Structure 1
Amino acid sequence: MSEARGWSRRRTNAPCGPPGESRTDMLRKLEPEEIAFIERVNAVYLSDELDFEEAVREYRRIEEEFVERAGDNEYHVVETRRRITEWILSEAVRDVQPHEVCREIWHELLQRGFSDVQKRYNMSGIYARCCQLNGEFDAGLAVIEPLIAEAEQALADPALPPNPRIFYEYALPIDRKIRDELKAGIRSLMQRIEAVYFSDEMSFEEAVREYRRIEEEFVERAGDNEADVVETRRSITEWLLRHALEKEQPHEVCREIWHELLQRGFSRIEERHRSSRIYARCCQMNGEFDAGLAVIEPLIAESEQEPEDAALPDPHAFYEHALEKHREIRDELKAGIRR
């Protein structure tokens, strides 16, 4: 019998409770220290103002503070340190940090350990993506291939309990996809997109053509995987909208991209709010204040109600942050301020 060692139903970053409980109820049952920690790290991760180095310094301040609060509770000390490193690694991937930065964070995480098997798989996948982003394909394979072998061995055991089986069945195709891309030497869609976005040599029209070429290539790679096709198309349009704002394109250009994005939909609630703010800024830039208000005011009403969403680790922190951003844009639009 090969029951997964270290398996735990405890999830430190995403508290869960009995079926039927609301996420608000679950948060209320957490210790005040846990709630405070979640709010602090979410505030850093959701911030648009902090660059990577500033974010790391803030994470370290949070780590120091909550380790001190933990006192002699060794479990809380260990978990606090682990979780801070996990957040920093996630931040490094999102900000496309160099491989040596990601590797240093990964080594720290290996030293601090993982709370459970699920966390080990999740963070290993994130680090493998770091390697892929930086073209360090062998380093990524060295992390991901043992996970695949472990999952295959576990799933071959008929005595594997239901919860671990569900997890391994979910994780295995994801890890195989990462492995296949690493073996093929394929840098990620995001890196290809960002290479266009940060290029100083392309006009907006040239950038649009390059985005569309990338879209066509990755849609073709996705084959019959409808989810990947949809996500690829959404990502391309989201970045087109950002690029239009960055290059100060006229309103009709921004509006056309926005309508395409509405048709393609949003993968996450965070992206819907973020892209809506970007389009509202496009409207503001072009003096189309009413068009911007038509987008931003419904988001303010939604955020004020704080609807529950299972995809949000901390709905209150998200909506609180979103409200601040939305209200700032709304006030400028109402005042007729162009930016």
Structure 2
Amino acid sequence: MTPEERVFVQAHSKLLIKSLQRTRTFAEAALDFRKLEAEFVARAGDDEFDVRETRRRIAETILDLAHDKRPPFEVCRDAWNDLVRLGFSGIDLECSMSWFYADCCAYDERPDEGLAVLEPLLAKLDSLLEETKGSGVEYPARLYENELERLGNLRAALEAQKRGEVVPWLETRREDEAAPPMTPEEEQADELYDEFWKAHRAAYKTFRDSKNRSFADISAGYRRVEAEFVARAGEGEAFEDCVGAIKARTAEEILRAACELRAPFQACRDAWDEFVRVGRDKSWMYPMMYVETCLESNEPEAALAVVEPWIAEIERKLQACNEPLRPPGETSVELNRKLKELHELRDKLMAKRSGGEPST
């Protein structure tokens, strides 16, 4: 990455964090990114490649924001058309951006427009996958298979929507507009969480930028922020959910810090136990982080206690992959790959437990 690219990425990341704030409107966020675009296009001068890549990166971000903040459909369509005009830097981004736009179409109950984007892309992916057969190369075939399933699921949902069927997991503008307005308590709880997030992020930046702070110091910093905002929470269901979210975020970051800083294993185990109790992140990142820590700490039993139920969970998810109109989530391609990885990891852990080496 060149120094100029690094400056752009840093400025872009800072704006993205600002734009994702609940109170920030799409129009405000888009204007911020257009200003950033103008600045770096001017800095690129006659470098046509840099100019095009800057415009493309901003167009991708604006479509992403349109998907997140749900402005009027015409705005989403304009964002999509702008990106199509600039072109995609790769098939992976074409798939991601197409998914965002097709989901925008579903949100405004315009299935035909979403299908008009997905159908040719799925045909293209089919053709690309066919070209990889016999090559013996796992990638990019795995990417094509994954996107065929992911985008195919959304196509099926749009087709169902076109037939007038209700797809439970599809959000629509009509349903959102018919929903009762937020109560004052809910608004106050959201404002409290927004304040917590800023304070929590400041604590994270201190952790990230520090070279000498101990895990105990970092954990204490997160706990101080947590205690302050839990104490400020009011009564009622909205505040209960807010407190739950505060505790979950704190537990997630303490686990991350414990593992990354190689804290004593008991501290990592305690952090994991708390994450299991209150954490809300359902990604694979945190369990894998803890399992790797168990391996490094020569604690195979603790790792197996995570890996064994994880394997069972993935096997259940694989069975559900054949269900019609299933909600977005891991594809069978991703699940099978993770299952293979976990089986290999389990073999390694069991060998470590018995004092031997896994068979190959």
Tell me the TM-score normalised to structure 1 length: 0.53
Larger mean CA deviation between 166-175 and 150-159 belongs to 150-159
Equivalent of residue 169 in structure 2, options 172, 184, 189: 189
How far does the alpha carbon of each residue in 1:238-283 deviate from its partner, in whole angstroms, 9 at most, with x for none? xxx97893599xxxxxxxxxxxxxxxxxxxxxxxxxxxx9997565
The structure showing larger relative contact order (alpha-carbon pairs under 8 Å, at least 6 residues apart) is 1
Write the distance in 2 (CA, Å) between the matches of 1:77 and 1:57.
18
1:114 partner SS: coil
Equivalent of residue 81 in structure 2, options 107, 117, 126: 107
Write the distance in 1 (CA, Å) between the matches of 2:99 and 2:4.
29
Instruction: After TM superposition, give the deviation of residue 37 of structure 1 in Å.
Output: 1.5
Distance 1:120 1:85, change over 3 A: same
Instruction: After TM superposition, give the deviation of residue 117 of structure 1 in Å.
Output: 1.6
Counterpart residue number, 1:163: 139
Write the distance in 2 (CA, Å) between the matches of 1:278 and 1:135.
41
Instruction: After TM superposition, give the deviation of residue 98 of structure 1 in Å.
Output: 1.9
Counterpart residue number, 2:189: 245
Instruction: After TM superposition, give the deviation of residue 183 of structure 1 in Å.
Output: 0.3
Counterpart residue number, 1:138: 112
How far does the alpha carbon of each residue in 1:287-322 deviate from its partner, in whole angstroms, 9 at most, with x for none? 89xx899777767878999959998xxxxxxxxxxx
**Runs of 4+ that moved beyond 4 A:** 192-198, 201-204, 241-244, 277-283, 291-311
Counterpart residue number, 2:56: 82
Q: Which amino acid aligns with 1:200?
A: P
1:189 partner SS: coil
Counterpart residue number, 1:95: 69
Counterpart residue number, 2:12: 41
Percentage of pairs with the same residue: 29
Instruction: After TM superposition, give the deviation of residue 197 of structure 1 in Å.
Output: 9.1
Count of residues in Structure 1 that have an aligned counterpart in Structure 2? 216
Write the distance in 1 (CA, Å) between the matches of 2:247 and 2:230.
13
Distance 1:133 1:192, change over 3 A: closer
**2:104 aligned with 1:123:** no
How far does the alpha carbon of each residue in 1:166-204 deviate from its partner, in whole angstroms, 9 at most, with x for none? 210111100110000000005673626994698336889
Equivalences for residues 280-299 of structure 1 within 5 A: 281=229, 283-286=231-234
Distance 1:244 1:50, change over 3 A: closer
1:163 partner SS: coil
Write the distance in 1 (CA, Å) between the matches of 2:62 and 2:117.
18
**2:143 aligned with 1:199:** no
Write the distance in 2 (CA, Å) between the matches of 1:140 and 1:177.
13
Contact between 2:88 and 2:94, CA under 8 Å: does it hold in 1? yes
Equivalences for residues 188-227 of structure 1 within 5 A: 189=169, 191=171, 195=175, 199-200=179-180
Instruction: After TM superposition, give the deviation of residue 147 of structure 1 in Å.
Output: 1.4
Structure with higher Rg: it is: 2
Equivalent of residue 152 in structure 1, options 95, 115, 126: 126
Distance 1:297 1:144, change over 3 A: closer
1:46 partner SS: helix
Write the distance in 2 (CA, Å) between the matches of 1:172 and 1:97.
28
1:191 partner SS: coil
Contact between 2:109 and 2:172, CA under 8 Å: does it hold in 1? no
1:156 partner SS: helix
1:170 partner SS: helix
Equivalent of residue 180 in structure 1, options 129, 146, 156: 156
Q: Which runs of 5+ in 2 are unaligned?
A: 193-224, 262-282, 286-360
Contact between 1:242 and 1:278, CA under 8 Å: does it hold in 2? no
Write the distance in 1 (CA, Å) between the matches of 2:16 and 2:31.
12
Q: Which amino acid aligns with 1:245?
A: A
Q: Which amino acid aligns with 1:178?
A: L
Instruction: After TM superposition, give the deviation of residue 285 of structure 1 in Å.
Output: 2.8
Write the distance in 2 (CA, Å) between the matches of 1:135 and 1:247.
31
Contact between 2:108 and 2:174, CA under 8 Å: does it hold in 1? no
Write the distance in 1 (CA, Å) between the matches of 2:27 and 2:82.
17
Instruction: After TM superposition, give the deviation of residue 112 of structure 1 in Å.
Output: 0.9
Q: Which runs of 5+ in 1 are unaligned?
A: 1-29, 205-240, 249-276, 312-339
Write the distance in 2 (CA, Å) between the matches of 1:107 and 1:137.
17
